[in-house]
Structure 1
């Protein structure tokens, strides 16, 4: 993560490099723009984001938060959570994409990765000027599945992964689509939808909240 290791550390790594970050567009290092680095922007249905974020916040010791999901969702919608306003963050990236960033930006939706992995990764390969066989992409789908990722994290980090959690580590939790339906009441959903329409009406991002996109959770 760029925000944890800093540019000095990354400068020691040979190119080409894949750098992960949650930074806002305007906070990216200047070299990103000067060198016209390719950016892969991965995003997720904001309702599932809110649920995932809530579970992270309540389970991490340092946040000292014990509120109900409804209370957290209100804070989330107001942008009063760690790392700031989700809507503002997404709108900034939307503007960068639509107004012409010096960097090529490829948008990937988590839901598409879960439901249509091979075509989604094929489009990524085209963006990166890579050629990969369908057989390799199908193998990648298996080894990068959420369950495989969770096992890998548990094996790699072991006891270190449990540091800072109130109970068992839950950072790698479910990874499913549509878990928000188990958390949002009708009233909360209507409130969120109204705000979403107001704040994202000019956004280039298109999230689907349709029931047929949800997994059985």
Structure 2
């Protein structure tokens, strides 16, 4: 009997933008019950003190799996590339999935999966009150490089130094900062 190998897509994002996004989710979603300030949050984040552990460990583990051979088809997408050239990334994804999608379908996918469409509020007022704090919206900005509006020079230097210690020296993951 043949075993079907499920295709997997791994989407990764610049670690600094990931930090900002995670902070906003923690402060905006009731479940976390977090109301701390950014300046007190960034150090515990880089050291994995929140529920998801460190982002560097997550990426290091993925690299180990990829190097060992995943045993299943894997496609890595960078959030920054999706923002820069969504049509090209949809082409690559369709190719990976073995889908012969026409230009019109790919254009529709880019449109429907674009940040603006996804960010349109689809939560009922009841759901918002139950799960979200105040005016928080699940899709905040969807920008690349917004971390520059959050990190102080000292925080940026600290983050870079800690990241360099944590991420593999031969990391396969390279991120753009804007």
State the TM-score, normalized to the length of structure 2: 0.90
Match of 1:191 in 2: 158
CA shift for structure 1 position 166? 2.2
Counterpart of 2:24 in structure 1 is 55
1:158 aligns with 2:124: yes
Residue 208 of structure 1 aligns with which residue? 176
**Partners of 1:61 and 1:81 in 2: CA distance:** 15
Structure 1 position 204, deviation (Å): 1.3
1:81 aligns with 2:50: yes
Q: How does 1:125-164 map to 2 (within 5 A)?
A: 125-151=94-120, 154-155=121-122, 157-159=123-125, 160-164=127-131
Contact 1:36 1:103 in 2 (8 A): yes
Structure 1 stretches (4+) deviating beyond 4 angstroms?
none
- Where relative contact order (Cα < 8 A, 6+ residues apart) is larger, the structure is 2
Residue 161 of structure 1: CA displacement? 3.5
In the alignment, is the contact (CA less than 8 A) between 2:90 and 2:110 conserved in 1? no
Deviations 1:148-202 (A, max 9, x none): 1111xx23x3221342222123221111111100000111111111122222222
SS at match of 1:192: helix
Residue 169 of structure 1 corresponds to which residue in structure 2? 136
Give SS of 1:50's match. helix
2:124 aligned counterpart, secondary structure: helix
Unpaired segments of 5 or more residues in structure 1?
1-33
Shift of 1:121: 1.1
- Equivalents in 1 of 2:129, 2:115: separation in Å? 19
> Is contact 1:118–1:134 with CA below 8 Å preserved after alignment?
no
CA 1:162–1:144 in 2, change beyond 3 Å: closer, same or farther?
Answer: farther
Which residues of 2 match residues 17-36 of structure 1 at below 5 A? 35-36=4-5
Change (3 A) 1:145 1:169: same
Name whichever of 101-110 and 78-87 sits farther off.
78-87
* Residue 34 (structure 2) aligns with: 65
Return the alpha-carbon distance in structure 2 between the equivalents of residues 62 and 124 of structure 1: 33
Query: Retained in 2: the 8 A contact 1:162–1:169?
Result: no
Please give the root-mean-square deviation of Cα atoms over the aligned residues, in Å: 1.6
Given that 2:9 and 2:77 are in contact with CA atoms closer than 8 Å, whether structure 1 keeps it comes out as yes
